Amino acid sequence: MTATYRNPVLNADWSDPDVIRVGDDFYLTASTFTKVPGLPILHSRDLVGWTIIGHAVTSGYADVRPGCGVWAPSLRHHDGRFWIFYGDPDVGICQVSAADPRGPWTAPHVVKPGSGLIDPCPLWDEDGQAYLVHGWAKSRAGINNRLTLHRMAPDASKVLDEGTLVIDADLLPGYRTLEGPKLYKHDGVYWIFAPAGGVEQGWQSVFRAESIFGPYEDRIVLEQGGTDVNGPHQGGWVDTRSGEHWFMHFQDRGPYGRVVHLQPMAWEDGWPVMGDKGEPVAEAALPVLGGVPGEPATSDDFAGPALGLQWSWQADPDPSWWELSHGTLRLTCVPGPEDLRDRGAVLGQRLPGAPCLVTTTLTLSGEGRAGLVVLGFTYAYVGLASTSDGPVLVCGDAEPVPVDGPVTGEAIFEAFTVDIERRSPWTSKGRGQ
């Protein structure tokens, strides 16, 4: 009987995934925006079971800045090092690298400064020349729907020219919001895999050319069709040691975030064919037999010397915010804005891609308020608050954050949750809210 898997293979908000293979190991990273730590590194032996093994960025902003920070990374392995390129739309294109994917990683280095530069991807060619392609965020640059290519220093320290517009999707019938390019070379042909049409209703296209600077011809290779997988969008192509080809991408599920699907891929007549004749599959044969089953951790018994790798903060944390002691997580009630969306001292996890049960034990000591929250454009919480008569159970919610214009891929949905399946003591101490 053939062993199979079912999509999504990562059923949580792992936005904008990219994936590579090094030997028998697969590695994946994803967008983290202003979460700290950022750029998680996931490991797999079969493209289906994944575990978190580290983070490539350990610091961020001192305050909460929704929609800023780390956008749509690309992950590569070159010259014995792992490289991640990402766009910070308010800073420019940045890169970090490491000899070991578990770290340590170098500090972020700006390869190309500028506003609205997003979704970068490098390519080191056989002749030693390096290149960098990127997209544009209209919210910062005033333009989008086009891809720019640079010659890049081989050490990824800087770009070497002003850039060439290699794809102007305004000239392509029906195209809108072309973004998220991934640059490859296959059988002597240059390829740019890039989604278009928006994260909710878009599709996945590929572009090919004999010269890296074009001209490129395009083809849509994955779209919803008759399936329930809307907007199959933005990801990475990877092969196995045995020569099979696969494509990982996300599906936008609104308030549940962007879950990750795995599609079989084959090359036919010089073009990639994804899924079932260009439509996403719900189930397929396992890419690699004998892999290591696993999924990113959610539960935490707080018995370790540090927080589990599944946890992150909304901004750079202060060490005084938390403490682990004898299987208990103690969180300080930190003074701050009434609106939880403006607080850095919120500890959370990626939102699960389906309804889930959250269980924990909470004790409130002293003055303050603590509890569980699902936090995004809007939020709802339940917890304890101190009163003159002692702690009382409280709950509440908040109105959505106003968004100018339609909600698109640039109106980033930021979701946080505390998702704990095993009961663990959680004690809050100190003063303030």
What pLDDT digit, counting tens, does each position of 345-368 carry?
999 999 899 888 888 889 998 889
Which range of residues forms the domain containing residue 360?
Answer: 312-429
d(CA 367, CA 371): 14
Among 37, 15, 87, 76, which residue's Cα sits nearest to residue 248? 15
Per-residue pLDDT tens digits for 300-309: 999 989 999 9
260 lies in the same domain as 216 = yes
Same domain, 355 and 222: no
Q: Determine, yes or no, domain membership for 245.
A: yes
Q: What is the pLDDT of residue 195?
A: 98
Residue 296 within a domain: no
pLDDT band at 424 (very low <50, low <70, confident <90, very high): very low
Residue 383 main-chain phi, psi, to 5 deg: 180, -160
> 294 versus 374: which is more confidently predicted?
374
pLDDT of residue 411: 35
Residues ≥6 apart with Cβ < 8 Å to 388: none
Model pLDDT for residues 83-118, shown as the tens digit of each residue: 999 999 999 999 999 999 999 999 999 999 999 999
| Residue of 32, 56, 53, 33 lying closest to 43 (CA atoms) | 53
Quickly state the pLDDT bin for 417 (edges 50, 70, 90): very low
Average pLDDT, rounded, for the chain:
91
Across the range 276-296, mean pLDDT stands at 91
Between strands 425-429 and 392-398, the pairing is: unpaired
Residues 97 and 207 placed together within one structural domain of the fold: yes
Q: What is the largest CA-CA distance in the chain?
A: 75
The SS3 call for residue 268 is strand
Q: Please say whether the beta carbons of 86 and 33 come within 8 A.
A: no
Total-model pTM: 0.92
Tokens found for residue 428: 């809050």
Confidence of residue 291 (pLDDT cuts 50, 70, 90): confident
- Give residue for tokens 């790798």: 309
Q: What share of the chain is helix, strand, coil (3-state, %, to 5)?
A: 5, 45, 50
- Whether 233 is in a domain gets the answer yes
Same structural domain for residues 135 and 277?
yes
Over range 27-52, report the average pLDDT: 97
Confidence bin at 241 (pLDDT 50/70/90): very high
The yes-or-no verdict on residue 374 having pLDDT over 70 is yes
pLDDT given for residue 432 in this prediction: 28
Q: Assess whether pLDDT exceeds 60 at residue 263.
A: yes
* 62 and 159 co-located in one domain: yes
CA 103 remoteness from chain centre: 18
Q: Write down the pLDDT at residue 402.
A: 66
CB 311 within 8 A of CB 35: no
With bands split at pLDDT 50, 70 and 90, how would you rate the model's confidence at 326? confident
User: Residues 23, 147: one domain?
Assistant: yes
Q: Domain check: are 141 and 247 in the same one? A: yes
Q: Which residues are identified as catalytic?
A: 16, 179
CB-based contact 26:47 (threshold 8 Å): yes
Q: What is the pLDDT of residue 403?
A: 53
**pLDDT tens track for 376-416:** 889 999 999 999 988 999 999 998 876 554 443 333 333 32
Task: Give the Cα separation of 79 and 69 in Å (integer).
Answer: 27
Task: Tell whether 43 and 167 lie within a shared domain.
Answer: yes
| Confidence (pLDDT) at 433 | 27
Let me know whether 164 and 248 are in one domain.
yes
Same-domain status, 51 and 195: yes
Judge whether 305 lies within some domain.
no
Q: Is residue 267 part of a domain?
A: yes
What per-residue confidence (pLDDT) applies to 423? 27
Q: pLDDT at position 358, please?
A: 86
Residue 117, CB half-sphere, CA atoms under 13 Å: how many?
23
Distance from C-alpha of 97 to C-alpha of 317, rounded to nearest angstrom: 23
The label of the residue with tokens 């303050």 reads 368
| Residue 15 domain flag | yes
Q: Which of 5, 8, 27 is nearest to 259 (CA)?
A: 8
- Decide which of 267, 285, 303 is a domain's last residue: 285
Flag whether 291 is in a domain.
no
* pLDDT tens figures, 158-204: 999 999 999 999 999 999 999 999 999 999 999 999 999 999 999 99
Domain count of the fold of the chain = 2
Verify that 124 and 237 share a domain, yes or no: yes
Spell out the alpha helix ranges (H) of 50-122.
Answer: none
Nearest to 372 by CA among 317, 414, 410, 417: 417
| Rounded distance between C-alpha atoms, residue 6 and residue 122, angstroms | 31
Q: What percent of the chain has pLDDT over 70?
A: 92
Residues 97 and 194 both lie in one domain: yes
Q: Which CATH number characterizes residue 213's domain?
A: 2.115.10.20
Q: Closest by alpha carbon to 36, among 334, 300, 311, 321?
A: 311
> In whole angstroms, what is the distance from residue 229 CA to residue 232 CA?
6
Structure tokens at 362: 């909470």
Residue 122 lies inside a defined structural domain of this protein: yes
